[in-house]
Amino acid sequence: MPRPKRNRTILSPPICKGFVPIGNTLKSDSGIDLSLEEFESIRLCDYDHLNHAEACQLMNVSRPTFARIYESARQKVATAFAEGLPIHFIGGKYSMSENWWKCNQCGSMFSSLAGEYLTKCVVCSSTNISSIHNNAANDECICQSCGAKLKHRHGQQCRQLYCPDCKQPMFNRRNARMAL
């Protein structure tokens, strides 16, 4: 029997889509992709100063798995620093512990309370808010040029689908760069 898949958890989205090096004018499409689990592992260990035992609990993974994610994250960040490469936050195999929203007016990100459906920003009351990818993120194909989404069909390659609006091939949301 296959082992049941555990949902890796990240507690909240990153506040930006990634980083660019200062003064490096190399080809702009190069860079390092850091998955959100990798991002979260560094945030928990090096920003929150948690030890691995605490961090792996919050992420809902085993200790060896956590250690692997963290090691890979550090390797990537080190490579980006040393080689002057941009870092892109991308999806990954994770779910978020809560539903999160972002206000496009004031820039704040907020969680919704149990059972609550939000229609406006809880800080500035703007109605220009968007839901940040939720647990269904892996089940969507997304167009990287216009952001259009289609439901992912199991067994079908995302790239065989074309965006209804701009006719570009679709990507799996999991592999798409963070649409913050």
Q: Does 26 bind Zn ion (CB under 5 A)?
A: no
- In total, the chain counts a number of residues equal to 180
Q: Does 104 bind Zn ion (CB under 5 A)?
A: no
Instruction: Give the closest residue to 168 by CA, choosing from 145, 151, 138, 140.
Output: 145
Only segment of 28-36, 51-59, 78-86, 154-162 that touches other proteins (CB under 8 A): 51-59
37 vs 59: CA distance, rounded Å:
8
Q: Which of 60, 97, 168, 172 binds other proteins (CB under 8 A)?
A: 97
Sketch the per residue contact string, 114 through 153, with other proteins: x for CB under 8 A, - otherwise.
x-------xxxx----------------------------
Q: Map residue 134 onto helix, strand or coil.
A: coil
Cα dihedral value 81, 84, 90, 92, nearest 10: -50
Exactly one of 31, 39, 43, 133 binds other proteins (CB under 8 A); which one?
43
N-term to C-term CA, the chain: 38
Interacting residues with other proteins (CB under 8 A): 11-12, 15, 43-44, 47-48, 50, 54-55, 58, 97-98, 106-114, 122-125
